[in-house]
């Protein structure tokens, strides 16, 4: 018995006339007037289903095959034949159809073959991967994830697993989740009545990481080229279509590099990712273009063929002021760019991705490298047409005296950064890096409107275990 | 200026006589009687250093080059020449040596070029990647991680990111970390005085995952072949060389598969991983064989050439009882195998990896498939010479009625598993999977004795932020 994935059958791995077995789930069954059934079977391997032609001379035709409904699992053996139907080159003339699993009460099957709202599908997250949309999202997500690793591995980067549980707040910024084994019903107390964190698992307060950047810099200063790709967390109660409490982030860090090298890496990286999706998931992209976002393929094709514009923040501010546009948020040197400003720059002014570089130091983090002008730091944002900021990065401050002055200025405790400062004391080198929100990248590639629809397990009141 | 990684120079990417630049850190400097210096430079790209020959006619020879110490960062441009020294084919005749970063007070440099204990190096985790041992560990870890993805991707599996924060305890087993944003100093209370978890971030109690298995089964039942590779957590206060609170786990799950297919996948997978290390990291393995564990290369070579023995648990018990060995833990049908038993089976009895299959149901988890004998389940452990259990897996119970009876028997609340049960109600299929502790795999490949030395960031009292 030669078992093939449906993607293999459809791409022609089995010769016409050969016998193969496929295993999967029924998407639809259609009966012809001639008394045979056409069963569309999917197994997750590609967007398309395989059409199984089941004739009434099958032993279990009347008792079983004619009763198949969406969601039933089957194992089908048959002959690969040319398809007369359109949209597929081959189909399977069944010689045996085994029903592995029925659908209990087909009328109430939660993922029946009809249009469901995405809101509803989040409530049945355990079944939504069987739908066209979420099968496609899963494959695109996988394709992008593999491309992330392939890009870095082929360029001599090492994947570093930075800590998920941390006692360190990467930027003094994001709201964090506490991690603890203390018994809430019976909290240990210090003599003065405060919660005694020394009795917690790690002997002090611990949280979920908001970024692996500071940690991964330690590896950058030894291995030269490293990256993280792992879960990060923000305890911000923003229940919007753009925020997640748990998401994956990619953070490369390169030694012997300045901001220009960082921007080049970001450009190469993003183009590589979207090139991979265009090359490897044309089937799923065609679906997204048809049902979700008509422009998504063209957007990616334009993207990978563009050369990114580099623009100083100061020049960007001037361009915005000269634009004659009336923005909701005022434009002035020293203020951060808002989404409307970013979109003007990349979509209207330049018409290509833009790397805005050298931001005012007052609006950026302590670890970004001070420029000689005294008022900007070597930070960058990559803006993409249709989405705005997609990457944020910077050259890091590698000079201990400058870093220390900045920590003091911002009221940060130097002792908390003893190991980070040590890196500047011992063989420091110029280095730079950036962060890419992985889910944002999937949103960009697919046009899916809600970021909770590109993660495998959306949290909902019903799906609290996810 | 042609910049190359040291690995590229050493493998001959630059022709003899050509000019290249390398950038890295000084491991050692040795001065010859003839008044020149030999500087060994590493950049993380491979185990070996590149020998830089610096002659006194360099402009900064006396002022800088002659003062280089371990840990200084340099950029060196020079001519690639044949090396007369042994152990290297080429060396770099420097025409320019730029010192990028000095070492402040070389006498107290924490990672000076001498033998340090691993305990000490855990306290300077930010600098230990610069040492021979931890550079090698980092490269082997990366090599294994890439091999994990390559193995599954090339076989049509999809990488699924299962939730880190969960409201679900995968096996009712492991001790878990609580995740919360409640203010410990001011806990919300219900009218009866209990902690009011409904006011927490997710509206109920949440923890860090101990396994992605149950979650990933939902994707297996749609995509057919899936795997997780991500961080998992155990809040067990076992401060041993074999336990970690945070570690990475690989969990494939295959549909249309039974326990025999699961064992085959485990065998193929492990051999693929170790084959990759042998092929790609021979330099680092040579170091581990020389300094850490003399048998490590031979162990891996034997492993990848072995065919794994399959053995029923019941037969394993009989073999142990017939062995004539006196074990610390008694051997009897129904008891779990202890490490000493596992090592006897794989090292003495069989001399190859062994897959022990079909364990007593009383000692196994609720989701494992009941065998027809009524007393065993389709569980397996893969035992490897030199380490014991390295993989644990099972065929999952795909029959709703059998699963329900088991949940009842174990006193588990069926409502908590509503979505897991749904999968058995709608197009259920036989499926199976296993878990591989990623750090255990690195321990096996390198012979490193303490599992905290194969993770990038060991937690110590001093390194609490890791």
Distance CA A55, CA A219 (A): 62
Q: Say which residues have a Cβ less than 8 Å from residue A462's Cβ, sequence separation at least 6.
A: A123
Gap between the Cα atoms of A303 and A350, Å rounded: 13
- Residue B372 predicted with pLDDT over 60: yes
A87-109 per-residue burial string, b: 16 or more CB within 10 A, e: under 16: ebebbbebeebebbbbbeeeeeb
> Contact at 8 Å (CB) between B452 and B241?
yes
Residues of B in contact with A72 (CB under 8 A): 427
Q: Provide the pLDDT confidence category of residue A171 given band limits of 50, 70 and 90.
A: low
Which helix H or strand E contains B432, and what residues bound it? Answer: strand B431-437
Q: Give me the DSSP letters along B257-311.
A: --HHHHHHHHHHHHHHHHHHHHHH-HHHHHHHHHHT-TTHHHHHHHHHHPPPEEE
User: Considering only residues 7 to 66 of chain A, which have any Cβ-Cβ distance to chain B shorter than 8 Å?
Assistant: 7, 23-26, 43-45
Pull the structure tokens for residue B308. 């794994």
d(CA B71, CA B110): 10
Q: What is the mean pLDDT of chain A?
A: 95
Tell me the chain B residues in contact with residue A225 when contact means C-beta distances shorter than 8 Å.
44
- ipTM of the prediction greater than 0.95, yes or no: yes
Q: What is the pTM of this model?
A: 0.97
Judged against a pLDDT cut of 60, whether residue A170 lies above it is answered with no
Which residue in B3, B158, B201 is closest to A235 by CB distance? B201
Neighbours of B260 (CB within 10 A): 15
How far is the C-alpha of A180 from the C-alpha of A194, rounded, in Å? 16
Q: Which structure tokens are listed for A291? A: 């049902």
Instruction: At B357, list the tokens.
Output: 């299959």
Question: What is the length of chain B?
Answer: 466
Burial class (CB in 10 A: 0-12, 13-18, 19+), B183: exposed
**pLDDT, tens digit (0-9, with 9 covering 90-100), for B123-136:** 999 999 999 999 99
Contact across the interface for A457 and B162, Cβ inside 8 Å: yes
Q: Are B329 and B286 in contact (CB under 8 A)?
A: no
pLDDT in tens, A113-169: 888 999 999 999 999 999 999 999 999 999 999 999 999 999 999 999 999 999 875
What pLDDT, on a 0 to 100 scale, did the predictor assign at position A175?
A: 87
For residue A156, which phi and psi values (nearest 5 degrees)? 80, 20
Q: pLDDT band at residue A466, thresholds of 50, 70 and 90?
A: very low
Q: Does A184 touch chain B (CB under 8 A)?
A: yes
Rg (CA), chain A: 27
Chain A interface includes B195 (CB < 8 A)? yes
Inter-chain contact B178–A177, Cβ cutoff 8 Å?
no
Which residues are CB-contacts of B57 (< 8 A; sequence separation ≥ 6)? none
Confidence of residue B175 (pLDDT cuts 50, 70, 90): confident
Q: Which residues of A touch B423 (CB under 8 A)?
A: 126-127
Report the distance separating Cα A110 and Cα A119, nearest Å. Answer: 13
d(CA A216, CA A211): 9
Beta-bridged to residue A158, according to DSSP, are A226
Residue A166 contacts B where some CB pair is shorter than 8 Å: yes
pLDDT tens, residue by residue, B252-275: 999 999 999 999 999 999 999 999
Asked whether the CA dihedral B86, B90, B94, B100 is positive or negative, the reply is negative
Per the listing, tokens 């919360």 go with B180
Q: How far does Cα A13 stand from its chain's mean position?
A: 31
d(CA B396, CA B375): 16
| Per-residue pLDDT tens over the stretch A182-209 | 998 889 999 998 999 999 998 888 999 9
CA atoms of A249 and A171, how far apart (whole Å): 15
Q: In which band, very low, low, confident or very high, does the pLDDT at A464 lie, cut at 50, 70 and 90?
A: low
Question: Is it the case that residue A174 has pLDDT exceeding 80?
Answer: no
Task: List the beta strands (DSSP E) in A143-277.
Answer: 158-159, 165-166, 178-180, 206-208, 225-233, 246-255
Kindly provide the residue ranges of all beta strands, DSSP E only, lying in A55-89, ordered along the sequence.
Answer: 73-82
Q: What is the DSSP letter of B34?
A: T
Residues contacting B462, CB < 8 A, separation 6+: B123
Q: How far apart are CA B243 and CA B234, in angstroms?
A: 9
Quote the CA–CA distance of A176 and A197 in Å, as a whole number: 16
With residues binned 3-state (H G I as helix, E B as strand, rest as coil), the percentages for chain A, rounded to 5, are 35, 25, 40
Closest by Cβ to A465, choosing from B168, B222, B425: B168
A99 touches chain B (CB under 8 A): no
pLDDT level of residue B405 (50, 70, 90 thresholds): very high
% of residues, chain B, pLDDT over 90: 89
- What is the Cα gyration radius of chain B? 27
Task: Select from B247, B131, B210, B315 the least CA-distant residue to A223.
Answer: B131
Report the range out of A81-90, A407-416, B396-405 with the highest average pLDDT.
Answer: B396-405
Distance from CA of A199 to the nearest CA of B (A): 12
Q: What is the DSSP string of B182-205?
A: --GGG--B-TTSSB-GGGSTTSS-
| C-alpha span between A79 and A94 (Å, rounded) | 6
A207 and chain B in contact, CB less than 8 A: no
Mean pLDDT, rounded, of chain B: 95
Cα–Cα distance measured from residue B59 to residue A95, given in angstroms and rounded to the nearest whole number: 83
Contact A444, B116 (CB under 8 A): no
At B240, list the tokens.
């041993």
Strands (E), A367-430: 376-384, 388-395
CA distance A380 to A355: 6
> Which 3 state secondary structure label does DSSP give A410?
coil
Return d(Cα B295, Cα B275) in angstroms, integer.
Answer: 16
Query: Which distant-in-sequence residues (6+ apart) come within 8 Å of A146 by Cβ?
Result: A276, B149, B153, B159
Which A residues 106-125 touch B at CB under 8 Å?
109-111, 124-125
Starting at the earlier edge strand, list the strands of the sheet with A158-159. A158-159, A225-233, A246-255, A431-437, A388-395, A376-384, A354-360, A309-312
Query: Do B284 and B297 form a contact (C-beta atoms < 8 A)?
Result: no
What is the pLDDT at residue B464?
62
Give the A window 242-271 contacts with B, CB below 8 Å: 245-246, 248, 255-256
Alpha helices in A258-398 (DSSP H): 259-280, 282-291, 296-305, 313-322, 339-343
pLDDT in tens, A244-281: 999 999 999 999 999 999 999 999 999 999 999 999 99
Which of B383, B386, B391 has the alpha carbon at shortest distance from B438?
B391
Mean pLDDT, residues B83-108: 94
- Averaged pLDDT, B30-56: 96
Query: What's the gap in Å between the CA of B84 and the closest CA on chain A?
Result: 27
DSSP A352: S
Q: Comparing C-alpha atoms, which of B230, B233, B227, B178 is closest to residue B210? A: B233
Give the contacts of A415 (CB within 8 A, at least 6 positions apart): none
Residues A225-238 pLDDT 10s: 999 999 999 998 77
- As given in the structure block, the two tokens for residue A104 are 């209990």
pLDDT recorded at residue B171: 54
In angstroms, what CA-CA distances link B411 with A161, A185, B425?
38, 25, 21
What residues contact B98, with CB distance under 8 A and at least 6 apart?
B74, B75, B76
Question: Which residues in chain B touch residue A248, judged by CB atoms under 8 angstroms apart?
Answer: 161
| CA A378 – CA B463 distance, rounded (Å) | 29
Nearest-angstrom CA–CA distance, A420 and B129: 14
For residue B117, pLDDT beyond 60: yes
Q: Output the six-digit token pair for A63.
A: 């008792």
Cα four-point dihedral sign A409, A413, A418, A420: negative
Q: ∠A246-A248-A249 over CA atoms, to 5°? A: 125
DSSP B463: T
Res. A98: pLDDT tops 70? yes
What single-letter DSSP state applies at residue A195?
B
Please give the structure tokens belonging to residue A265: 């890496």
The residues near B279 (Cβ < 8 Å, ≥ 6 apart) are none
Assign B329 a pLDDT band (cuts: 50, 70, 90). Answer: very high
């Amino acid at each position: 018995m030669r078992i093939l994935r449906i993607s293999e059958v459809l791409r022609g791995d089995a010769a016409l006339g050969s016998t193969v077995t496929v295993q999967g789930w029924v998407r639809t069954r259609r009966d012809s007037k001639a008394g045979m059934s056409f069963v569309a079977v999917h197994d997750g391997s590609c967007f398309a289903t395989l059409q199984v032609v089941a004739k009434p001379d099958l032993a279990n035709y009347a008792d079983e095959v004619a009763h198949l409904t969406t969601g039933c699992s089957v194992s089908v053996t048959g002959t690969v034949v040319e398809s007369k139907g359109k949209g597929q080159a081959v189909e399977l003339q069944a010689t045996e159809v085994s029903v592995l699993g029925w659908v209990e009460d087909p009328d109430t099957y939660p993922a029946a073959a009809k249009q469901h709202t995405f809101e509803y599908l989040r409530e049945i997250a355990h079944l939504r991967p069987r739908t066209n949309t979420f099968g496609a999202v899963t494959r695109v997500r996988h394709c992008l994830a593999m491309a992330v690793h392939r890009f870095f591995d082929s360029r001599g980067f090492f994947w570093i697993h930075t800590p998920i549980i941390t006692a360190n707040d990467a930027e003094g910024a994001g709201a964090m989740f506490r991690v603890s084994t203390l018994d809430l019903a019976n909290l240990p107390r210090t003599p003065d009545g405060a919660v005694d964190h020394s009795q917690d698992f790690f002997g002090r307060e611990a949280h979920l990481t908001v970024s692996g950047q500071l940690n991964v810099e330690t590896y950058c200063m030894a291995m030269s080229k490293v990256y993280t790709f792992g879960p990060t967390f923000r305890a911000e109660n923003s229940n919007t279509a753009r925020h997640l409490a748990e998401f994956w982030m990619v953070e490369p860090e390169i030694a012997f590099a300045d901001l220009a090298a960082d921007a080049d890496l970001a450009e190469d990286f993003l183009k590589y990712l979207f090139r991979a999706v265009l090359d490897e998931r044309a089937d799923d992209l065609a679906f997204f273009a048809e049902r979700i976002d008509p422009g998504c393929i063209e957007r990616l094709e334009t993207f990978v063929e563009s050369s990114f514009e580099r623009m100083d923040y100061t020049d960007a501010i001037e361009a915005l002021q000269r634009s004659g546009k009336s923005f909701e948020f005022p434009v002035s040197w020293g203020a951060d760019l808002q989404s409307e400003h970013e979109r003007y720059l990349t979509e209207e002014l330049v018409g290509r991705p833009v790397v805005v570089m050298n931001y005012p130091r007052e609006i950026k983090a302590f670890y970004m490298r001070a420029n000689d002008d005294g008022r900007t730091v070597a930070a960058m944002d990559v803006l993409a047409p249709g989405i705005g900021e997609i990457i944020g990065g910077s050259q890091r401050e590698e000079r201990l005296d400058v870093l220390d002055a900045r920590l003091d200025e911002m009221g940060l405790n130097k002792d908390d950064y003893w190991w980070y400062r040590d890196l500047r004391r011992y063989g420091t080198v110029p280095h730079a890096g950036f962060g890419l929100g992985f889910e944002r990248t999937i949103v960009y590639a697919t046009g899916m409107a809600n970021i909770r629809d590109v993660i495998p397990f959306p949290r909902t009141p019903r799906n609290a275990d996810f």
